[in-house]
């Protein structure tokens, strides 16, 4: 296991007091929104954070003018004019800093998103409806080619499989789910160091609400379809 050297050197340059947390999830399918919410919910983290960096693991900042300091208003560091891949105006993915008060005010992220994509678009609507202004970096001249390094290779395929009515439901504003109903349990905590950096590993089991989001396990949809086809023959 390695913590990228750029990450450690950047923190040291900023002279910040920090603690690394690594959460390992036991779940059927990846859920980025639930993972972010759990960083704000677990007792091990909740008492020790002031703001969250909603940060794609494969997007590394190259420009030292991108500051990770406390945001009075959400700041979208990976702005559409800087991100190497996504350039639409309402895009707030990649890297977004938001303080604890505002994250809790909008009830975190929706729990309806399993697999890859769209959870940040729904979060944009939550911020808009709460009249929270999103800011972006100014006077960054390195553009889409020199501001970030995007290290998501073609061999790492995103989980884009959709099933049931997932496409329909996840394109609507979710006013029901969020921080208050993430279903999880902490299995264990491990204190360790990686390359001299303090690290707490938190093992978590994340549960799916099959009645609300059956698409957390699309294999069941496939099996059901196969059974239906066979029974009708």
pLDDT tens figures, 74-113: 999 999 999 999 999 999 999 999 999 999 999 999 999 9
* Per-residue pLDDT, 155: 67
**pLDDT band at residue 1 under the 50/70/90 scheme:** very low
**Tokens found for residue 112:** 């309806």
Q: How confident is the model at residue 2 (pLDDT cuts 50, 70, 90)?
A: very low
Whether the CB-CB separation of 105 and 130 falls below 8 Å is answered with yes
Q: Are 147 and 94 in contact (CB under 8 A)?
A: no
- For residue 85, give both structure tokens: 């891949």
pLDDT of residue 32: 82
Q: What is the mean pLDDT of residues 59-63?
A: 94
Asked whether residue 141 carries a pLDDT value surpassing 90, the answer given is yes
Q: Give the residue-averaged pLDDT of 166-177.
A: 90
pLDDT of residue 224: 40
Mean pLDDT of 35-61: 83
Report which of residues 154 and 118 the model is more confident about: 118
Higher-scoring residue by pLDDT: 42, 209:
209
Most distant pair of Cα atoms in the chain: their distance: 68
pLDDT at 63 over 70: yes
From CA 19, how far away is CA 131, in angstroms rounded? 32
Of 226 and 202, the one with more pLDDT:
202
What's the DSSP call for residue 83? -
Sorting pLDDT into bands at 50, 70 and 90, what band is 65?
very high
The distance of Cα 21 from the centroid of its chain, to the nearest Å, equals 14
* 188 — pLDDT class (breaks 50, 70, 90): very high
More confident site: 13 or 197: 197
Whether this prediction's pTM lies above 0.85 is answered by no
Sheet architecture: strand order including 95-99: 51-55, 95-99, 75-76
């Amino acid at each position: 296991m390695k913590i990228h050297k750029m990450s450690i050197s950047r923190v040291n340059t900023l002279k910040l007091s920090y603690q690394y947390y690594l959460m390992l999830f036991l779940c059927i399918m990846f859920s980025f929104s639930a993972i972010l919410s759990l960083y704000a919910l677990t007792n091990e983290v909740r008492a020790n954070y002031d703001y969250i960096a909603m940060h794609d693991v494969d997007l590394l900042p190259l420009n030292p003018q991108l500051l990770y300091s406390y945001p009075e208003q959400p700041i979208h560091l990976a702005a559409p004019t800087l991100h190497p891949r996504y350039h639409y105006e309402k895009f707030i993915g990649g890297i977004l800093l938001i303080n604890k008060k505002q994250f809790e005010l909008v009830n975190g992220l929706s729990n309806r998103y399993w697999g890859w994509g769209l959870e940040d678009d729904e979060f944009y609507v939550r911020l808009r409806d709460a009249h929270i202004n999103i800011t972006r970096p100014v006077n960054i001249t390195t553009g889409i080619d020199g501001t970030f390094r995007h290290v998501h290779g073609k061999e790492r395929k995103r989980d884009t499989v959709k099933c049931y009515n997932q496409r329909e439901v996840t394109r609507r504003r979710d006013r029901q789910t969020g921080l208050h109903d993430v279903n999880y349990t902490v299995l264990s905590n491990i204190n360790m160091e990686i390359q001299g950096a303090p690290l707490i590993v938190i093992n978590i089991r994340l549960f799916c609400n099959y009645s609300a989001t059956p698409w957390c396990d699309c294999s069941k949809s496939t099996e059901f379809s196969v059974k239906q086809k066979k029974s009708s023959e």
